[in-house]
Amino acid sequence: MSNAWDIAMNIIASVITGSAVWLAGKALARRRLRRKQTFFGLGGGDECLVVVPRHASSDRLRSVHRNDAAALLELSPVLGDCRARPEVVFHDDVYQGMADKAEFCIGGPDANRRSEAHLRAFLPRVRVAGFEDQPDELTITVGGEDYPAETGRVEYVVLAKLVRREQERPVFLISGQSSISNRAAVRYLQEHQRELTRAHGLRGRFCLVLKVVESHAYGPRISELVRDATEEAFAAPEPAPEPEPAES
């Protein structure tokens, strides 16, 4: 009788322990999901804006580079986990402000008018030169420091989270020197969300410069953080030098 009682008690204890572990795992998963949703500004069932760039070197105005299309696919796990509904629009079809819904804006100013507006309005110390500005040497400038591209070998991309007010929905701006660097930045955002949360908080803004290495061989798979330029990127622009007085 005693042995049967001991066995029964052990079974009950195992069930209780297993249930507690299962419940703890569920609670942890829910907490991680809530933190992820807060970081991306996405609640369950919320709609978000995904702004698509045109193919910068194509003659067709509605052409999208395959790497930018692939970048949209890289976003799918984030949107799926957060149970968000994407509204995918072309860059020149967006006529709405910020903060109504979370936004993912992909592409440099040459390929995306919305990116150009975001850079001008919110990142006054960041300049992403396009093909029209520098056809022979694409350069990203952050706080006076230049990051020139070596196409296929070293390419740079700005990954920024723009937040006007803490409680408003964020804009994630991905503005690179190539479509493959855009894709690498989206992948970096997805894979390093927890580290970015620890560094900048769930609702904090940031601006990073990433480097994509040997993209001609490795595609978007090898990227690294070059600089956290948050402080410099959001600083007020330097005043223009005053003209020298004319000689009498």
pLDDT in tens, 33-79: 999 999 999 987 889 999 999 887 666 767 788 888 888 888 989 99
In this structure, is residue 10 part of a structural domain? no
Checking if the pLDDT of 166 tops 80, the result is no
- Tally of structural domains, the chain: 1
Q: Supply the pLDDT for residue 99.
A: 72
Q: Supply the pLDDT for residue 159.
A: 98
Residue 221 domain boundaries: 41-233
Q: Is 238 helix (H, G, I), strand (E, B) or coil?
A: coil
Between 93 and 3, the more confident residue is: 93
Checking if the pLDDT of 11 tops 80, the result is no
pLDDT digits (tens, 9 = 90+) for 127-154: 998 655 555 568 999 988 999 999 889 9
Query: Contact, 175 vs 158, CB < 8 A?
Result: yes
**For the packed helices 2-40 and 193-200, what is the interaxial angle rounded to 10 degrees?**
70
Give the position of tokens 């042995």: 3
The CATH number of the domain where 132 resides is what? 3.30.379.10
Q: Supply the pLDDT for residue 23.
A: 44
Q: What are phi and psi of 101, to 5 degrees?
A: -150, 155
Query: Contact, 136 vs 129, CB < 8 A?
Result: no
- Give me the sign of the Cα torsion angle 121, 127, 128, 133: positive
In this structure, is residue 240 part of a structural domain? no
CA–CA separation, 102 and 202 (whole Å): 14
Between 248 and 68, the more confident residue is: 68
Checking if the pLDDT of 22 tops 50, the result is no
CA–CA separation, 134 and 146 (whole Å): 13
In this structure, is residue 23 part of a structural domain? no
In this structure, is residue 36 part of a structural domain? no
In this structure, is residue 4 part of a structural domain? no
Q: How far is CA 221 from the centre of its chain?
A: 16
Q: Which two tokens stand for residue 40?
A: 């991306």
Q: Supply the pLDDT for residue 131.
A: 56
In this structure, is residue 241 part of a structural domain? no
> What does the DSSP assignment read for 18-74?
HHHHHHHHHHHHHHHHHHHHHHHT--TT-EEEEEEPP-TT-SSTT---HHHHHHHHH
pLDDT digits (tens, 9 = 90+) for 106-134: 999 988 999 999 999 999 999 998 655 55
Of the candidates 33, 44, 183, the one whose C-alpha atom is nearest the C-alpha of residue 104 is: 183
How sure is the predictor about 242, in pLDDT bands with cuts at 50, 70 and 90? low
Q: Supply the pLDDT for residue 219.
A: 87
In this structure, is residue 218 part of a structural domain? yes
Longest dimension (CA), the chain: 115
How sure is the predictor about 182, in pLDDT bands with cuts at 50, 70 and 90? very high
Of the candidates 115, 2, 129, the one whose C-alpha atom is nearest the C-alpha of residue 49 is: 115
Query: Contact, 229 vs 209, CB < 8 A?
Result: yes
Q: What is the mean pLDDT of residues 200-206?
A: 95
In this structure, is residue 13 part of a structural domain? no
CA–CA separation, 176 and 157 (whole Å): 4
Q: Supply the pLDDT for residue 24.
A: 45
Q: Percent of the chain scored above 70 by pLDDT?
A: 77
Q: Which two tokens stand for residue 123?
A: 């990142």
CA–CA separation, 174 and 161 (whole Å): 9
